[in-house]
Structure 1
Amino acid sequence: MSIPGNQRREQILGTLSEAVSPLSGTALAEQAGVSRQVVVQDIALLRSQGWPIQSTNRGYVLERKTTRPSRLIKCHHSVEQTPEELNLIVDLGGHVEDVLVNHRVYGRLSCELGIASRRDVKAYMEAIRSGKSSPLMLITSGYHFHHVTADSEEVLDEIWQALSDAGFLAEKSDFEREAFGQ
């Protein structure tokens, strides 16, 4: 016996609000006892009601206003070095919220990542390797930005220093400092 739609959507919201990592449509569907397509429709309805539900490459997340310190970090490296960069950040306690590029023709392009563990890094890299698409950073010759959050400014300083020591940091241009306000 299935539950009514509004109760199911409340259940989905409750599950997303308690989740510490993204949840796939399949996982939400199994929990609610419906098909993944029903969950996709429920998510669309919830979004239309103003709920800030984001889609990531690993599933859905309920966007939360964070009180954690955040820093926009500019990096440059090869695609092969991506796991090293991401693991360095999460091993020190950082969360990689997104990736963005500032392209001279296309402007600012970004994608939510929500990477907070080595498991997340592995899943992200598997998705990149198995897809027909390329990482966003390739359209800007390896230059890209991440919003990184952590429990304290000191942790962000440690992450910044480790990225610098690894040779992954890139200097922001005057234009980028002005455009990003940082």
Structure 2
Amino acid sequence: MKKQQRQADIVKTLRSSREPVSGTALSEIFQVSRQSIVQDIALLKAAHFNIISTNKGYIIVDPPPREKIFKVSHNHEEIGDELYTIVDAGGFVRDVYVLHDIYGKIQVDLFLATRADVDAFVAGLKEKKTSPLMKLTDTVHYHTVEAVSDSILAAVEKSLTEKGYLISVG
């Protein structure tokens, strides 16, 4: 299979998958090395395909996502509910960050699209006995949320407001 055809087929595979597709899975599908897949993905990104690399694999976002930044606050026990609120409305939680008085912006990619993703994230916090970033700023933190439409972002905003988590939208 020629490289250009493989790249076109990678795009089709990513578009047809509802879950991230790992580089290993792509290398098995197309019978090439994982390094070849990494190179193909880099070339596709350079060609303006909106491919996101997550810890679970690659996803493609079509059309290019819209995004909003939500400034939120809640207690530690409400982390899962806050994230469920976003993904249940159709949002994709790209990251979490805080604005620290001394260190400035501290940001971590999350890439949460489903309740299962949220469950894994919350379980990871519990298993590793890790404090969330919001602990640094008295529970105030920000999420960059992506969606395929403005109406989904509006639904996220409405749901966060109804639950009392939303401080402001940027």
TM-score after normalising by structure 2: 0.69
2:97 pairs with one of 96, 100, 103: 100
Q: Which amino acid aligns with 2:55?
A: N
User: Deviations 1:149-177 (Å, cap 9, x if unpaired)?
Assistant: 345444433322321232212257xxxxx
| Structure 2, unaligned runs of 5 or more | none
CA positional deviation for 1:73: 0.6
Show the counterpart of 2:38. 43
C-alpha contact 1:57 1:124 (8 A) present in aligned 2: no
Q: Which amino acid aligns with 2:74?
A: H
Give, in whole Å, the separation in 2 of the partners of 1:103 and 1:75.
15
1:16 aligns with 2:14: yes
Show the counterpart of 2:166. 169
C-alpha contact 2:7 2:44 (8 A) present in aligned 1: no
C-alpha contact 1:57 1:113 (8 A) present in aligned 2: no
Give, in whole Å, the separation in 1 of the partners of 2:20 and 2:126.
20
C-alpha contact 1:149 1:156 (8 A) present in aligned 2: yes
Change (3 A) 1:145 1:31: same
CA positional deviation for 1:84: 0.3
Structural RMSD (CA): 3.5
C-alpha contact 1:97 1:149 (8 A) present in aligned 2: yes
State the number of aligned residues: 167
Change (3 A) 1:164 1:131: same
Q: Which amino acid aligns with 1:120?
A: D
- What SS is found at the alignment partner of 1:148? strand
Give, in whole Å, the separation in 1 of the partners of 2:34 and 2:134.
31
Percent pairwise identity = 34
